[in-house]
């Protein structure tokens, strides 16, 4: 088996700066020791080989400015990562998808079909691909997530301070997240506000699914009709909470499942939409807007609707 060696043969001492303050020690080490397996990192933490100010610490310890971190010698051998033709293709797609970038923030028009992080058989998601593309970047972290099949605005923080600021805005509901979705049926009435608690469930097959259940977490979604077609409606969706699969489950809950949704949607409606050229989930994160904004970045980002979705709408207009 081909291997490569990651050799930190001598102890290292790092003085924690303002930028890293507040970060958990385990996450800091994962970002710093790129290529070292997480299991190895947690092992040296458990054994007390990692020291802060000469003392042992727990993996949950949060760094303070001025802390002296001692990282022990580490030598591991890992399988050579497979890149092949796939990774360069992902890199080009991401480069072409950049909407905005400065020293602290990167905003992408995420393509449909790309997971935001690796897992479930995927070695490279968006964040892993970005880190491979930019080996000298000190910090790259997802600010929020989008489902694999959803396209649109996705924020990646390039500084810890930016991540903290944006997370605070998200927690205090000062980020407006608006989506476009094509849903089943002709919309009746005007705007709809859906308040239905959501709960994650695991099927016997191991598949994760979200259902409306009284014991679930509070979830609020607002739907606004934009254009009606004979058998479908284009709606603008605003999220007031950020639960897993929230828009998809709430849309199905009110009888208007999203086109192309294989998990929560209508099989017959999906077949009709495939005849109109739809080959993916019709859900797009079109806009992010900061209220009481952040001075150092724009107050709004807009991701244009992908051509494949525009084409479906044109076909619906023709028919």
pLDDT at 117: 80
pLDDT at 3: 33
∠177-179-183 over CA atoms, to 5°? 145
pLDDT at 30: 80
Cα–Cα distances in angstroms (integers) from residue 148 to residues 75, 116, 194, 201, 227, in the given order: 35, 7, 24, 19, 26
pLDDT at 269: 97
Cα–Cα distances in angstroms (integers) from residue 50 to residues 29, 160, 299, in the given order: 10, 22, 41
pLDDT band at 293 (very low <50, low <70, confident <90, very high): low
- Specify the CATH architecture of the domain 3-79: Roll (3.10)
Least-confidence region, from 253-262, 268-277, 293-302: 293-302
3-state secondary structure of 225: strand
pLDDT at 183: 98
pLDDT at 292: 65
| Phi, psi torsion values for 316, nearest 5 degrees | -65, -40
pLDDT band at 11 (very low <50, low <70, confident <90, very high): confident
Predicted confidence (pLDDT) at residue 19 exceeds the cutoff of 90: no
pLDDT at 1: 29
The active-site residue out of 5, 102, 136, 147 is: 147
Q: What's the rounded mean pLDDT across residues 193-200?
A: 95
| CATH superfamily, domain at 174-318 | Pseudouridine synthase (3.30.2350.10)
More confident residue, 1 or 300: 300
Closest by CA to 258, choosing from 204, 172, 201, 179, is 179
In the chain the beta strands, taken as DSSP E runs, fall at 3-8, 12-15, 51-52, 55-56, 68-71, 74-79, 98-101, 105-110, 141-142, 151-157, 175-184, 192-195, 198-202, 208-212, 220-228, 232-239, 283-290, 300-302
Least-confidence region, from 20-29, 76-85, 172-181: 76-85
| CATH superfamily, domain at 86-160 | Pseudouridine synthase (3.30.2350.10)
pLDDT band at 197 (very low <50, low <70, confident <90, very high): very high
pLDDT at 208: 83
pLDDT at 295: 64
pLDDT band at 4 (very low <50, low <70, confident <90, very high): very low
Asked if residues 158 and 140 have their Cβ atoms less than 8 Å apart, the reply is yes
149 in catalytic set: no
Helices H, strands E: what count in the chain?
Answer: 8, 18
Closest by CA to 179, choosing from 106, 255, 230, 240, is 240
Tens of pLDDT, residues 217-241: 999 999 999 999 999 999 999 999 9
Percent of the chain residues topping a pLDDT of 70: 88
174-318 shares the fold of 86-160: yes
Model confidence, pTM: 0.75
Average pLDDT over the chain reads 86
Task: Provide the 10 A C-beta neighbour count for residue 295.
Answer: 5
Question: What ranges do the domains of the chain cover?
Answer: 3-79, 86-160, 174-318
Q: State the Cα–Cα distance between residues 152 and 89, nearest whole angstrom.
A: 19
More confident residue, 296 or 176: 176
């Amino acid at each position: 088996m081909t291997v490569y060696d990651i050799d930190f043969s001598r102890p290292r001492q790092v003085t924690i700066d303002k930028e890293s303050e507040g970060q958990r020690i385990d996450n800091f080490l994962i970002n710093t020791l790129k290529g070292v397996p997480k299991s190895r990192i947690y092992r040296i933490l458990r054994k007390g080989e990692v020291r802060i100010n000469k003392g042992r610490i727990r993996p949950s310890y949060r760094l303070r400015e001025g802390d002296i971190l001692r990282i022990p010698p580490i030598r591991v051998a890992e399988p050579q990562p497979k890149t092949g033709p796939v990774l360069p293709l992902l890199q080009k797609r991401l480069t072409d998808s950049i909407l905005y970038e400065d020293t602290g923030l990167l905003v992408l028009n995420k393509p449909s079909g790309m997971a935001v992080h690796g897992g479930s058989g995927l070695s490279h998601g968006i964040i892993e691909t970005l880190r491979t593309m930019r080996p000298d970047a000190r910090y790259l972290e997802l600010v929020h997530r989008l489902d694999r099949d959803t396209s649109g605005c996705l924020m990646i923080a390039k500084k810890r301070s930016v991540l903290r600021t944006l997370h605070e805005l998200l927690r205090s509901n000062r980020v407006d997240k608006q989506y476009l979705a094509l849903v089943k049926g002709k919309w009746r009435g005007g705007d709809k506000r859906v308040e239905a608690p959501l709960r994650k469930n695991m099927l016997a097959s191991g598949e994760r699914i979200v259902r409306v259940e009284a014991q679930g977490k509070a979830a609020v979604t607002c739907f606004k009709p934009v254009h009606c077609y004979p058998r479908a409606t284009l709606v603008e969706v605003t999220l007031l909470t950020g639960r897993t699969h929230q828009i998809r489950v709430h849309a199905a809950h009110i009888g208007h499942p999203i086109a192309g949704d294989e998990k929560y949607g209508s099989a017959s409606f999906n077949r009709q939409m495939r005849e109109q050229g739809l080959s993916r989930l019709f859900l797009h994160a079109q806009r992010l807007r900061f209220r009481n904004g952040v001075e150092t970045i724009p107050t709004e980002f807009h991701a244009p609707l992908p051509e494949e979705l525009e084409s479906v709408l044109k076909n619906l207009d023709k028919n």
